[in-house]
A and B are shown apart, each in its own frame.
Chain A
Amino acid sequence: MPWLADLVFILVVVIDLFLLASSRLGAAIRTVAIQGALLGTLPLLLLEERHSLGHALVLAVGALAIKGLFIPWLMFRAIREASIRREMEPIVGFVPSMVLGGAGVALAFAFSGGLPIPNGAGHPYLVPAALSTVWCGLLLIVSRKKAVNQVLGFLVLENGVFVFGLLLSDFMPIMVEAGVLLDLFAAVFVMGIVMFHINREFSSLDTEKLSALRD
């Protein structure tokens, strides 16, 4: 059902825009989890005759488990340690980051038709949704002050890359996809350790305090 996949793509972009506006950490983590779970359904929705069902099923379950359940659980543990619940006004400001995100989404949808990407004709929303998600993830990383929000931005970025990866799933074997997921897992693990150390040093997860470090 192609329109179901298009609906998922649109929902993913709407979730991106919502993340740019939200200031509550709990809601943001849950939203990223929902986005991950949605993306987990995509391999099954994009299934065509020549793909193997088992391959797609493994991918879907893996994405759902890691993106939708495990990583959010890690994040909740991290913020419980640091006991913070809210983001202060970020560097760019909520309204400008929403406007910038919206502009990026508009540009992605307007001009992605001109990009020479193979296999994109079947689902016209795939490439723009992936580009938009990557853009919103980058915006989150750059503009937020709290380390947890930056990790969320990285997760969103990886979600965008995952959608791109689905495009090429014809040509790439399962190992590369598994590699992407493993890389994601490792990165979040490392970031968790870093957050633990920042918190221990400063009793806060505000990355602005890192600028106080001197030689």
Chain B
Amino acid sequence: MTFPLALVLGAVALPAVSGLAAVALARRPALGQAAACALLCAGAAMGVAAAATALAGGAVESAALALRLDPLGACFLLPISIVSAAGAVYGLRYHPQREAGAAAIRLQLFYGLAVAGMALLVTASHGVVFLVGWEVMALANFVLVLTDHERREVQRAAFLYLAATHVGTLALFAVFALLRQAAGSYDFAAIAGLPAGAAGGTRLFLFALLGFGMKAGLMPLHFWLPPAHAASPSHVSALMSGVVVKTGLYGLLRVTGLLDAVPAWWGVALLAAGAVSAVLGVALALAQHDLKRLLAYHTVENVGIIALGAGLALLGRARGEPALVLLGLAGAALHVVNHALFKSLLFLGVGAIQHATGSRELDRLGGLARGMRATTVLFALGAAAIAGLPPLNGFVSEWLVYLGFLGVLGRGDHLAFAAIGAPLLALVGGLAAACFAKVVGVAFLGTPRTPAAAGAHEPPPAMLAPMAALAALCAAIGLAPFAVVPPLARAAAAWARLDPAALAGPAAQAAGSAARVSLVAAALLAVAAGAWAFRRRRLAARPPAAPVETWSCGFSAPTPRIQYTGSSFAELLLSRFSWTVPVQTEGAPPRGPFPAAAAYRTHVPDPVLDEALVPTARAYGWLAGRARLLNLRRIQLQMLLVLATLVAALAWGFVW
């Protein structure tokens, strides 16, 4: 048993048992929760160490235990460990066992199990082990979503999640059955190198897209995501958005990476799915006013961006372009890590808001920066990161995907048309920046719109520390992108089963460009610091004036109600997108010269869930109701019906 292998086993086993500590110490809730948290953090630390070892060059494997951690899996194990540890520390004060009792014990038990399941599936090298990890994660997540099970919408969201994840698992059974049929064994080592046509070709890819895409939240399979992520507690949402959906992408990458002779249309299909998810995800996110649903739709958008990178990498493998493979997979893998970091930061921030004000409705907040200074800074950092603004990490991964798209531009064949993805990504980036300007501006800036928002206070340090750690990591990756390029190149080589030397040229070029990005980022910070110092000197020369009301072109008594709301902010953009994002408004407009009361509500139905699935389910229910008429009263008639069906089946069997 080598030390790295022990690290991997620890990363799987310790979180699994961490919940038991909470159960065992149920009578001493504070100690129990702290022990569980410590166990989970220990497991997470081992996971980080194992991932770092794998990324540094050596894959960690054990054939006997059917485990193999290669650089690609390490890119996924890293966020799993970091986000789970951050969430556990956050939960110490957000969901304390002292107050929540049995619900908190249940949460910690299944939180640990979910983390263990995920760690197992990214290190599995055997199909059955993979599926075991997958199911453990899925079922544990179901229980986690049901934490506040007294509420109606939580029950509904959990049921939707369960139904969706099991449809996906069914598709995965098909995928692994097809692979076994072609390779003779479930072992990944045996499957590696199979030509895609022999392994089931189109059927395999479609099942994989269905199963893994359902978990990842690719459109149109995203419908379970917003309700589930909005219904769970914030650190669970952070785990789900940050890492659970990434396991779907891991599965997709792993299955397509094991096969050889991948057809080009697989890459094009993934590119198309990614583009649709990205654009529609961010458009739907703009229309939301519940903070958690908004963040959930942004997860759909970012999964789309990762799928764009993965599609480029697949296209590169199909066309034999090492540069495209490197840039596509590096962008996708880095965005997996980045998104996990800043999405969990944002969800933890929303949890802090909910903890402080009791609401996560955007138009009931406002002016939170006054009472929650640190949270504002951290949330604004996360918002800038998710909008892809330099010098933070979101920009680096999106830039790598851009480089992938630009790489095809110089070609002479039809592949060059894929470069249309670059302006599309620019549109997505612009819309994301607009959406987060809205969120930060309406929630944290301005004046409080309700008394609850006015009374907001800073969350306790146990909640702030994980957020600060995540923000620091975001800034670190953004300021030093050249450091992450070599490990990503190794991950790309491991995924495509290429010799690392083949990718060395493009990797060196990307690293050199990344170093210059750091240079510009440093220049940005230097100029900003200089301008700030200059401004202070100029202002110090004059006596400071007393603060006044906002001028606003001469309002003498402004109220919080005159500020722009989130819906107003987004309305101009959404009117452009009204053919995909139908916003339903309802309310009573003010009447008369002295209106007494008025109401205005906007609601955006999810296009897949509310426009397609629910009506279909309703129609099916109606049909089933009609079929009950066949439930005839007399038992003799029932028997006659059974006999008639049997005769018809036999006749069909004979005729055909």
Residues of A at under 8 Å CB distance from B?
A: 93, 95-96, 106, 110
Is the Cβ of B576 less than 8 Å from the Cβ of A110?
A: no
Which are the 7 A-B pairs with shortest beta-carbon distances? A96-B579, A110-B417, A95-B576, A93-B579, A110-B414, A106-B417, A106-B420
Query: How far is B577's CA from A95's CA once the two chains are assembled, in angstroms?
Result: 9
Q: What would 7 A/B residue contacts be, using CB atoms closer than 8 Å?
A: A93-B579, A95-B576, A96-B579, A106-B417, A106-B420, A110-B414, A110-B417
* B-side contacts of A93, CB under 8 Å: 579
CB distance from A64 to the nearest CB of B (A): 37
- The contact string, 1 if C-beta is below 8 Å from chain A, for chain B 561-580, is 00000000000000010010
Q: Which residue of A lies closest to B416 (CB)?
A: A110
Q: Convert B419-434 into 0s and 1s, putting 1 for each residue whose CB lies closer than 8 angstroms to a CB of A.
A: 0100000000000000
Q: Across the two chains, which residue of chain A brings its CB closest to B578? A: A93
Task: Name the residue of chain B whose CB is nearest to the CB of A103.
Answer: B420
The prevalent SS among residues of A at the interface is helix
Give B residues with C-beta under 8 Å from A: 414, 417, 420, 576, 579
Return B575 CB to nearest CB of chain A, in Å: 10
A175 to B579: give the CA distance in the assembly, Å.
47
Instruction: Collect the chain B residues with CB atoms within 8 Å of residue A95's CB.
Output: 576
A149 to B579, CA, bound (A): 22
CA distance A110 to B420 in the complex (A): 13
Which residues on A sit within 8 Å (CB–CB) of B579? 93, 96
A69 → chain B, closest Cβ, in Å?
Answer: 39
Alpha-carbon distance between A110 and B417 when the two chains are bound, in angstroms: 8
Residues of A within 8 A of B414 (CB): 110
Provide the bound-state CA to CA distance between A106 and B416, in Å.
12
CA distance in complex: A140, B226 (Å): 38
The chain A residue sitting closest to B577, CB to CB, is: A95
A106 to B420, CA, bound (A): 11
A103 to chain B: closest CB distance in Å?
Answer: 10
Give Cα distance in the complex from A206 to B414, angstroms: 43
> In the docked arrangement, what's the CA distance between A93 and B414, Å?
30
Q: Which residue of A lies closest to B580 (CB)?
A: A96
Question: Smallest CB–CB gap between B310 and chain A, Å?
Answer: 24
Q: Which residue of B lies closest to A93 (CB)?
A: B579
Bound Cα distance A106, B419 (Å): 13
Cα A95 to Cα B573 in complex, Å, equals 13
CB-nearest residue of chain B relative to A111?
B414
Q: How far is the CB of A186 from chain B (nearest CB, A)?
A: 37
For A109, give the chain B residue with the smallest CB separation: B417
Smallest Cβ distance from A115 to chain B, in angstroms? Answer: 14
Distance A96 CA – B579 CA, assembled complex (angstroms) = 9
CA distance A96 to B577 in the complex (A): 9
CB neighbours (8 Å) of A110 from chain B are 414, 417
Q: Tell me the complex Cα distance, A96–B575, Å.
A: 12
Residues of chain A within 8 A (CB-CB) of B576 are: 95
CB distance from B368 to the nearest CB of A (A): 36
Q: Least Cβ distance of A200 to chain B in Å? A: 35
The complex places the Cα of A138 from the Cα of B414 at a distance, in Å, of 26
Chain B residues within an 8 Å CB radius of A96: 579
Cα-based distance from A95 to B579 in the complex (angstroms): 10
Q: In the complex, how many angstroms separate the beta carbon of A172 from the nearest chain B beta carbon?
A: 33
Q: In angstroms, how far is the closest chain A Cβ from the Cβ of B296?
A: 27
Q: How far is the CA of A172 from the CA of B573 in the complex (A)?
A: 52
Query: Which B residue's beta carbon lies closest to that of A107?
Result: B417
Complex Cα gap A95–B580 (Å): 13
* Cα of A110 to Cα of B416 in the assembled complex, Å: 10
Q: Give the residues in chain A near B417, CB-CB below 8 Å.
A: 106, 110
A111 to B225 Cα, complex, angstroms: 38
Closest chain-B Cβ to A98's Cβ sits at a distance in Å of: 12
Complex: A93 Cα to B580 Cα, angstroms? 13
Taking the closest CB of chain A, its distance from the CB of B434, in whole angstroms, is 17
Q: Bound complex: CA of A93 vs CA of B575, how far in Å?
A: 11
How long is the Cα–Cα vector from A41 to B420 in the complex, in angstroms? 34
| Set of chain B residues within 8 Å of A106, measured between Cβ atoms | 417, 420
Q: State how many angstroms separate the Cβ of B583 from the closest Cβ of chain A.
A: 15
**C-alpha spacing A213/B417, complex, angstroms:** 47
Q: How far is the CA of A95 from the CA of B576 in the complex (A)?
A: 8
Q: Which residue of A lies closest to B414 (CB)?
A: A110
How far is it, in angstroms, between the C-alpha of A95 and the C-alpha of B575 when the chains are bound?
11
**Complex Cα–Cα for A95 and B420 (A):** 18
Instruction: Give the residues in chain A near B420, CB-CB below 8 Å.
Output: 106
C-alpha gap A93/B576 in the complex (Å): 9
Docked complex Cα distance between A168 and B576 (Å): 43
Chain A residue with minimal CB distance to B420? A106
Minimum CB distance partner of A110 in chain B = B417
**How many whole Å from B497's CB to the nearest CB in chain A?**
33
Within the complex, the shortest CB–CB distance from A156 to chain B, in Å, comes to: 24
Q: How far is the CA of A128 from the CA of B655 in the complex (A)?
A: 54
A93 to B417 alpha-carbon distance, docked (Å): 26
Whole-angstrom CA separation of A65 from B420 in the bound complex: 41
Cα(A162)–Cα(B203), bound, Å: 46
Give the Cβ gap from B419 to chain A, nearest Cβ, in Å.
12
CA distance A146 to B410 in the complex (A): 44
Report B391 CB to chain A, min CB distance, Å.
Answer: 34
| Distance from A155 Cβ to chain B, minimum over Cβ atoms (Å) | 27
* A37 CB → nearest B CB, Å: 33
Measured CB to CB, the closest approach of chain A to B402, in angstroms, equals 20
Bound Cα distance from A97 to B525, whole angstroms: 44
Smallest CB separation, A93 vs chain B (Å): 7
User: How far, in whole Å, are A188 and B512 apart by their CA atoms in the complex?
Assistant: 64
A84 to chain B, nearest CB (A): 25
- Give bound CA distance, A213 to B116, whole Å: 68
Tell me, in angstroms, the Cα distance from A95 to B417 when the chains sit together.
22
> What is the bound-complex CA distance between A93 and B577, given in angstroms?
11
**How close is B417's CB to chain A, nearest CB, in angstroms?**
6
Bound complex: CA of A70 vs CA of B410, how far in Å? 47
Considering the complex, give the chain B residue whose CB is closest to the CB of A95: B576
What is the CB-to-nearest-CB distance from A102 to chain B, in angstroms, rounded to a whole number? 11
Tell me the bound Cα distance from A129 to B576 in angstroms: 29
Distance in angstroms from B226 CB to nearest chain A CB is: 25
Q: What's the Cα separation between A146 and B247 when bound, in Å?
A: 53
Give the distance in Å from the alpha carbon of A110 to the alpha carbon of B413 in the complex.
Answer: 10
Closest A residue to B579 by beta carbon equals A96
The distance in angstroms between the C-alpha atoms of A110 and B414, with both chains bound, is 8
What distance in Å separates the Cβ of B648 from its nearest Cβ neighbour in chain A? Answer: 46
Q: For the complex formed, measure the closest distance between the CB of B35 and the CB atoms of chain A, giving whole angstroms.
A: 58
CA distance A213 to B576 in the complex (A): 33
Q: Nearest chain B CB to A88's CB is how many angstroms away?
A: 16
Q: CA–CA, A89 to B414, complex, Å? A: 36
In the bound assembly, the distance between CA atoms of A208 and B417 in angstroms comes to: 39
Bound form: Cα–Cα A93–B420 in Å: 23
- Minimum CB–CB distance from A179 to chain B (whole Å) comes to 38
Minimum distance in angstroms from B61 CB to a CB of chain A: 46
B530 to chain A, nearest CB (A): 43
- Nearest-Cβ distance from residue A46 to partner chain B, whole angstroms: 27
Closest to A114 in B: B414
